[in-house]
Amino acid sequence: MGNIQPRRLMTASGRSIVVRTALPEDADRVVAFVKEVAAEAPYLLTTEAEMAVTSEQQKQWLQQMIDGPGKLAIVAEQEGGIIGFLDFHNGNKQRTKHQGSFGMGVKKDFRGQGVGKALLAALLDWATEHPFIEKVCLEVVADNTNALRLYQTFGVAEEGVKKNAIKIDDKTYWDLIMMARFVK
């Protein structure tokens, strides 16, 4: 079950935030958040133009994240506004359900303030306590040094590189670094 206990903390700039489970009633705000972050975050794999999910689809998906074993969706909020989002999906086959991957985004004005750190800490605590999750994985653009530094701080290690995995335009490619941390 994809649920965490809410956590209250302070950002580096002294703002109070809450990290909690994303709920179906958050659907409209999650859709707006994802579209905003896609427009301002150069390292996301999904572009703003590809964000076509409706609020109703998002609501159903968030409910599936709560109900599904090995899945988690969490938000970071500041004064009722979503400033960060993380989702984790484990493998859907018997031989891969012990591991899964996550994606995360933080609003531009809150980057470098500890929001990503709070989201990642909540995920790793949940995964450590989860009965069958053993490994947490991710892929990150090789040039995203801030994200790499954050993941390494939490003991997430590089497992390999996908060369030219992201095509920005006809002449520009980015490598993806595959990373993981065993939680058991």
Q: What is the 3 state secondary structure string of the chain?
A: CCCCCCEEEECCCCCEEEEEECCHHHHHHHHHHHHHHHHHCCCCCCCHHHCCCCHHHHHHHHHHHHHCCCEEEEEEEECCEEEEEEEEEECCCCCCCCEEEEEEEECHHHCCCCHHHHHHHHHHHHHHHCCCCCEEEEEEECCCHHHHHHHHHCCCEEEEEEEEEEECCCCCEEEEEEEEEECC
Higher pLDDT, 51 or 107: 107
- Does residue 90 register a pLDDT over 80? yes
CATH superfamily of 7-133: Gcn5-related N-acetyltransferase (GNAT) (3.40.630.30)
- Does residue 1 register a pLDDT over 80? no
- Does residue 107 register a pLDDT over 90? yes
pLDDT computed for residue 41 by the predictor: 85
Domain spans of the chain, in order of start: 7-133
pLDDT digits (tens, 9 = 90+) for 123-154: 999 999 999 999 999 999 999 999 999 999 99
pLDDT computed for residue 27 by the predictor: 97
In DSSP terms, 77 is beta-bridged to 18, 82
Which amino acid belongs to residue 32?
A
